[in-house]
Amino acid sequence: MFIYLSKKIAIPNSTRLKCVSWNKDQGYIACGGEEGLLKVLKLETQTDDAKLKGLAAPSNLSMNQTLEGHSGAVQVVTWNEQYQKLTTSDQNGLIIVWMLYKGSWYEEMINNRNKSVVRSMSWNASGQKICIVYEDGAVIVGSVDGNRIWGKELKGIQLAHVAWSPDSKILLFGMANGEIHIYDNQGNFIVKMTISCLINVTGAISIAGIHWYPGTEGYIEPDCPCLAVCFDNGRGQIMRYENDENPILLDTQMNVASIQWNHCGSVLAVAGCQKNITMDKDVNVVQFYTPFGEHLRTLKVPGKQMSAVSWEGGGLRIGLAVDSFIYFANIRPDYKWGYCSNTVVYAYTRPDRLEYSVVFWDTKNNEKFVKYVKSLISITTSGDFCILATKADDNQPQEAEPESGNATFVLVLCNSIGTPLDSKYIDIDPLFVTMTKTHVIAASKEAFYTWQYRVAKKLTAMEINQVAKTRKEGRERVYHIDDTPTGNTDGTLDFAKAFTATRDHICCITATDKTLIVGRESGIIQRYSLPNVALLQKYTLNYRAYQLSLNCNSSRLAIIDIAGVLTFLDLDSRASSGDGFVGDQAAAPSGDPSKFERKDVWDMKWANDNPDLFAMMEKTRMYVFRNLDPEEPIQTSGYICNFEDLEIKSVLLDEIMKDPERPNKDYLINFEIRSLRDSRALIEKVGIEDASQFIEDNPHPRLWRLLAEAALQKLDLKTAEQAFVRCKDYQGIEFVKRLGNLQSESMKQAEVVAYFGRFEEAERMYLDMDRRDLAINLRIKLGDWFRVLQLLKTGSGDSDDALLEQAYNAIGDYFADRQKWVNAVQYYLQGRKQERLAECYYMLEDYDGLERLANSLPENHKLLPDIGQMFVTVGMCEQAVNAYLKCNQPKAAVEACVHLNQWNKAVELAKDHNMKEIGPLLSKYASHLLEKNKRLEAVELYRKAHHFLDAAKLMFKIADEEAKKRTRPLRVKKLYVLAALLVENYHEQMKTSQQSKAKGKKSEATSALAGLLEEDASSTDNRIVDNAWRGAEAYHFFLLAQRQLYDGNVDAAMKTALHLRDYEDIIPAVEIYSLLAICSSANRAFGTCSRAFIKLESLESLSPEQRQSYEELALEIFTKYPPKDNRKSELDSISEGVEGKLPTCIVTGRIISEYQFWMCSSCKHCAMEQEINRYNFCPLCHSALA
């Protein structure tokens, strides 16, 4: 950063100031002093010029109000930014809270304890609470509306300072004796703070300041030190949190009066006076430090005694109270930024993220790309690329560079939209990074590392991987600053030597394609050659360089020292090869660099195309120098991005950083230098001849181009051609030749207008000449198809059909590229571009449209297979098959069916097209499923392929196994029902196949009979085919009996259970007869019960113990009740009817004796009509009732 004094405001009557505070949000400055002085000032910039923004704009006092109310010296002023209140107190202990009303400040509240004096006041970060500490140990915490929250007397303690923690949970109290105590926000003591910076200090000390940065703008890195404590003897410490064991220690070697963090916690200002032993009078200074204790700058301030310091809200200015003056200093921060190929790259922190937000702002198209980077150290740019130097993450995988051991830093090479192209892990701290078109050079204090980077422009992915794998020797090297490399391959990638200490540290570096310059703290400058690094020369300066810059042919070095003085050093052969400056330089045409010196310079940039041109920033002015002669300065505070073609591009980073998420094109300013302005004025006002004479004397390609364009405008082709030749513009020369061949004057003018990119005008001129074809060609060249379409529609020609279609399709492409498929479809339809149309339908998921398209295409069209494939991907089998069949690819159709598991369709297609392979394929797939024990999937496969009998066999097998496992009976019933339904499907299939064979020959009955006969002949598994429903019936009645029993319908339950006697082959007999015994005993039909027990006792499957327990149970029952049925069981009497067995009702389990009853259409089972009416589905097979 660079800092310089910019303004001084005197307080009337030379009243000495005690304190100053700058409101961060609204910009008011409050200053308090002796004799009750309290003023509120506001500096505002008033300017109409858009280019004058920020520090460059003139500022004057828009508010200067004296606040009356204090009688004694005002000692503490503090702002509450959130609520726009000012709180002040004086030496008599009077506290006043001021508020802004209609542009002026008025007393809002007043408080006086009369006992003691207020030493410090602090608002918390949210502005809700204030803590006030008195000298006698009293503490008051109040709310913003004036209510007291709590108060406390700390006995025997003299208080001097107070600070809130960022989360308002902790209060720090500074004592008069230099101790700091940590309390919670209710005033309970927690612990004393360890003050490490006062070890070995004797004598009385007092605290100069405590400031805890509240993190409102984010932190410059995770876990960043933010609590600063400083003592009047110059010692201080910066801590991460209130009881940090190893804080960062400062020794400022000065008597400190006041300290303050800037708005984002990146710079700490320490104000006071130097301990100057030699001279009598003190020198006021402000020292600036990073949160890690590194010293940034020193600002010397005139006057006797500095009493206070305060930062402006944006961190660009600082206010200092010295004697009876307020001094203002401007700060040029070291932003992390760079400029590569029309892109401004800048980084900023946000409170809601730990990382830096790095913005790549493409100023040409006004687009921005944001990349989040942890622990960013710096941004360096060159050409089209940029290097981000960062600290390596602890948990970052480092397989990429195994030989680098524990690399702690990373250099990431990015392009201008932030895409990482390559990265290198290094062990040295990249404090200084510079970059050329081929090399990245990073330096720590002791050593520098060079990396010859490659950018894969034409490499394939495979080649890139190989480049990444082989870390070529010689692409990366490390040199110690005290080595003298000779340029042979002695630089190896050995970071070990980089840690050897050196007496004289590196303080800055710069490089061009052929030269590397390294500056050291003692003033020595070392010059090396590139690309093979060899130490060529050492120069000695009598000051320490801060920033170095080489001109475009590496002949002259610009040096800005730590105090902002710009000087030059000639490296060229013009210089006598001494160790210092140049000898007699009469021969050199440019000014004498050894005499040149400018003060307060904070930025400079050489022109990219002229070794004698450079621009520099001095305070708020930009100067352009040619041969060390300045042009008249320009008021600006921008940072110089680029200087070429006689134009300087500058960016107002201060303005961008105020709202970094929305950079504005206004913040980018182009300045033309004088020769360009003069040439332009000559061309406009005097004429081309004089101008060409002037340019001849001051030649530059940019000026020749200016002349060529002016000559073209006037159709002075001869001058234009000469000028194009001078600026080596081949296209321009060709264009002039083409113009020469045109006859009509107006044609020439139209071509020139088009050449300058004024296309609307050119088109109008063509149309006025009645050359619509030329206008259309112009628009086609520009790719503006919308306008082409308009022009085509205005004309009456019929020959434009092909062009029209081309235009429709091009517009369709335009919309498709932007994924606006709906609009694209409309244009593709008109342009009849079926390939893209299919793609759009697919993207829109408009499968009906896709089907219509497929139907409209002629047979064997090359698009049909693609459409078929589209249908397959979304599972639309039928449409896919149609598409494949239309293009005569039945094999693809079958494959689609198989892929989508539509086996029935696959089998059908295979039969239709006489394909042999579907049967084996099916059985292969089925056996594969069975191997994997996916039997239900195999059943499904057979069912889909209409192999119902195979499916049924498998299903019965599964059901039998489940029944053996004693699974839930309901599940077993379902499995049996499924198996039976598959058999029904098989019957149906046989019948229909016979019908289709015997169409129109015989009656339906005979064909059905033939079907049955064929079925008989083909089926060996009679049990399965004939008694398909037995298993289902068995489990149906088994479940029904249990339901009836639990419902208390015992008679019905017994009758149902009696049916189960026929199904001993399916349900184990022990289950059947146990159920029958329970039901009959419940129904008091002990005869039936007794028969059941006899059956149970005679079962062979029982063990002797089980049989014994049955016999005991029987004994117990039948000693009480005689084994006789009290009612004759109807089941026995009428189970044999006239025509064999009577049907059983599947709802109640009773025998149906009526002549009229209901029969299920699926499973052919019966039920009584009055019973079935309550159901919507058949109780056995669950098919819907008709």
More confident residue, 437 or 1070: 437
Mean pLDDT confidence for 704-730: 82
Of all residues in the chain, what percent carry a pLDDT higher than 90?
Answer: 18
CA distance 416 to 639: 19
For the chain, what percentages of helix, strand and coil (3-state, to nearest 5) are there?
A: 35, 30, 35
pLDDT at 719 over 50: yes
For position 585, what pLDDT does the model report?
36
pLDDT in tens, 156-188: 888 899 999 999 999 999 988 888 999 998 888
Q: What number of CA atoms fall less than 13 Å from residue 752's CA on the CB side?
A: 22
pLDDT at 624 over 80: yes
For position 811, what pLDDT does the model report?
82
* Alpha-helix runs per DSSP H in 795-889: 801-817, 821-831, 834-844, 847-856, 864-873, 877-886
Instruction: Tell me the pLDDT band of 1138, cut-offs 50, 70 and 90.
Output: very low
Q: What b/e sequence results for 591-620 when a residue is b if at least 16 CB atoms lie within 10 Å of its CB, and e otherwise?
A: bebbeeebebbbbbbbbeebbbbbbbbbbb
pLDDT at 498 over 80: no
pLDDT in tens, 521-545: 999 999 998 888 888 899 998 888 9
Please say whether the beta carbons of 663 and 368 come within 8 A: yes
For position 559, what pLDDT does the model report?
93
pLDDT in tens, 903-938: 667 777 777 776 666 666 667 677 766 776 777 777
For position 985, what pLDDT does the model report?
80
pLDDT at 729 over 70: yes
CA distance 77 to 73: 11
pLDDT at 464 over 90: no
The pTM assigned to this predicted structure is 0.65
Q: Which of 42-56, 194-208, 505-519 has the lowest mean pLDDT?
A: 42-56
More confident residue, 1096 or 1015: 1096
The label of the residue with tokens 């005008």 reads 761
Please say whether the beta carbons of 413 and 387 come within 8 A: yes
pLDDT at 1133 over 60: no
pLDDT at 579 over 70: no
- Give Cα 931 to chain centroid, integer Å: 48
Please say whether the beta carbons of 480 and 497 come within 8 A: yes
pLDDT at 1060 over 60: yes
SS3 of residue 1076 by DSSP:
helix
Mean pLDDT confidence for 1137-1144: 62
Give the pair of three-digit tokens for residue 188: 């309970």
pLDDT at 1016 over 70: no
Q: Which of 67-76, 525-534, 1150-1159 has the lowest mean pLDDT?
A: 1150-1159
Strands 2-10 and 325-332: antiparallel
* Alpha-helix runs per DSSP H in 965-1018: 969-997, 1004-1018
pLDDT at 341 over 70: yes
For position 282, what pLDDT does the model report?
64
Please say whether the beta carbons of 604 and 622 come within 8 A: no
pLDDT in tens, 628-637: 888 888 888 8
pLDDT at 1173 over 50: yes
As a whole number, the mean pLDDT across the chain is 81
- Give Cα 760 to chain centroid, integer Å: 40
pLDDT at 407 over 70: no
pLDDT in tens, 1099-1119: 777 788 888 888 888 887 877
Q: Which of 235-244, 497-506, 827-836 has the lowest mean pLDDT?
A: 827-836
Instruction: Tell me the pLDDT band of 442, cut-offs 50, 70 and 90.
Output: very high
More confident residue, 937 or 95: 95
pLDDT in tens, 285-339: 999 999 999 898 899 898 888 999 999 988 889 999 998 899 999 998 889 999 9
More confident residue, 698 or 656: 656
